[in-house]
Amino acid sequence: MRVVNEFTKGLWREIPPFRLVLGLCPVLAVTTAAKNGMAMGLATTFVLVCSNVLVSLLRNVIPRKVRIAAFIVVIASFVVIVELMMQAYYYPMYKILGLFIPLIVVNCLILGRAEAFASKNPLLPSLADGLGMGIGFTLSLTFLGAVREIVGNGTLFGMSVMWSSYEPFSVMVKAPGAFLCLGVILGLMNWVSTLQRRRG
């Protein structure tokens, strides 16, 4: 039961970019299209799950004083693995995401989960936590990318979805669009939560 709970909290109650407001650098930078957001989310999920598992397994071995250094080494290793894999099997996406793949190392979501959760909990809950948070992160990035792509470019996953005379707001796929979009989503989520609380 607890494991299920740890998994689902990442999907809504603590959905990373919108609730914890963690790991915003890739959230803002790569969500110019749904596909990019999804790829970034999946790469982050892989690193998050692997690092959570390993940190949880090593939690009694790693001395407290050097725990952050140890976490970073673990995370960085998985990031390099993702980077090499992406270069080898999905080169076009590697070119799009470019610098933001190595930057997963400093994504505070991953270090945050390692420090706040995996280093204090056994294997199974840590795995569930990583998976839930990762999927939540992926969904958020895909959603944000989809909204920006539809409004800013008139397409979704590269396919045209708007009527033919639709004039795209190209500001949405540029940097300010990321802030606008994120702000609106945060506002909507807070509004929904307030409504729920009033009813409850």
Partner 1 sequence: MVIVLALICGCSGLVLSFTNQVTLEQRENQLLTYVQGPSIQSVLSGREFDNDPIQDRFTVALGEDDQGDPVELTVFPAKKGGETVAMAYASSGVGYGGEIDVMVGFDLEGDLTGLSIMTHAETPGLGARIEEPSFTEQFRGLEVRKGVQLSQDGGEIDGVSGASLSSKGVVSAINKAADVFPKVKEEVS
Residues that bind partner 1 (CB under 8 A): 58, 61-63, 65-66, 69-70, 73-74, 76-77, 80-81, 84-85, 87-89, 91-92, 95
Nearer to partner 1 among residue 103 and residue 186 (C-beta): 103
Nearer to partner 1 among residue 14 and residue 83 (C-beta): 83
Whether the Cβ atoms of residue 44 and residue 104 lie closer than 8 Å to each other: yes
In the complex, least distance from residue 119 CB atom to partner 1, rounded to whole angstroms: 14
User: How far from 129 is each of 15, 124, 132, 139, CA to CA, in Å?
Assistant: 11, 9, 5, 15
SS3 (DSSP) at 128: helix
Nearer to partner 1 among residue 55 and residue 147 (C-beta): 55
In the complex, least distance from residue 134 CB atom to partner 1, rounded to whole angstroms: 20
In the complex, least distance from residue 104 CB atom to partner 1, rounded to whole angstroms: 15
In the complex, least distance from residue 58 CB atom to partner 1, rounded to whole angstroms: 8
Long-range CB contact pairs, 155-162, < 8 A, 24+ = 155/33, 156/34, 157/33, 157/34, 157/35, 158/33, 158/35
First to last CA, the chain: 23
Nearer to partner 1 among residue 80 and residue 156 (C-beta): 80
In the complex, least distance from residue 72 CB atom to partner 1, rounded to whole angstroms: 10
Nearer to partner 1 among residue 62 and residue 162 (C-beta): 62
Rounded Cα–Cα distance for residues 109 and 95 (Å)? 23
The type of residue at 190 is: N
